[in-house]
Amino acid sequence: MQTSYNDIIPEEVQQQLIQLRDVITQVGWTVGDLTNYVIRHNAESGKWITKEVIYSAVGNLVGKASRTVREYAMMSAFYPVEHRETYEILAFDHFREAMRLNDHWREALDWCMEYAESHGGRPATVDAMVARFAFGREVGEEKPDAVEVGREDDNNNNEETAIVGDSRMVVYALRQARSSIDMILESNPPAEVREILLMVVSLLADIGTRLQIEKE
């Protein structure tokens, strides 16, 4: 069953939520930019302070976990101001999930913008973008302001589509796992922990290679 946002959220509340979305996005960029500035400032000052220590210090001041600050900094470094302006109607989480798609980040954000052009200026949701580009699921066009309520997954996809979707989901999960491991490695863990993590990285790379071969 389809229902519109107007059936769920009063219009005045919708406007407040949209404003909050823009504020959250700007806060994310600002925290990331300031964190990267602090990193450069300390490096230029000759201070041997690790990035992890900086992430923790910034996190303590803004009330965020160090891993969140690290992600904000990575996003700010990944997206220069001109890219942020090009996709300014998108939320911070659009950028976050698109960055995890590696080489497909621009394709994903462009698709969200194209979706907005044909849907009353409202871009595709973050979930829809991830479903399409990370999990290989096609997202059907909907009416503007339409959301799905109580709809079960469509089981009519053929076997080939299901295999492609499953493979992309695994690849996406591998990228997430690798990102988490990289974060731990940057924190200079004990030698025995580092050795285990590097073994896991090797296994993840092997799985990714096997999936690519099977796909081809």
4-63 pLDDT, tens digit each = 777 888 888 888 888 888 999 999 999 999 999 999 999 999 988 899 999 999 999 999
Is there a single domain that holds both residue 1 and residue 59? yes
130-186 pLDDT, tens digit each = 988 876 554 444 444 444 444 444 444 444 444 444 555 556 566 666 766 776 766
Domain assignment present for 87: no
Single residue among 78, 104, 131 that ends a domain in this structure: 78
Domain assignment present for 84: no
Which residues are CB-neighbours of 143 under 8 A, at least 6 positions away?
Answer: 2, 4, 119
What total of structural domains would you count in the chain?
3
Is there a single domain that holds both residue 100 and residue 141? yes
Is there a single domain that holds both residue 126 and residue 168? no
Range of the domain at 26: 1-78
**Cα dist from 101 to 83, 153, 160, 193, whole Å:** 16, 23, 22, 28
Rounded Cα distance between 162 and 136, Å, is 9
Q: Would you say 111 and 132 are in contact if contact means Cβ atoms under 8 Å apart? A: yes
Rounded Cα distance between 34 and 44, Å, is 15
Domain assignment present for 83: no
Single residue among 49, 78, 107 that ends a domain in this structure: 78
The number of beta carbons lying within 10 Å of the beta carbon of residue 184 is 14
Rounded Cα distance between 132 and 159, Å, is 17
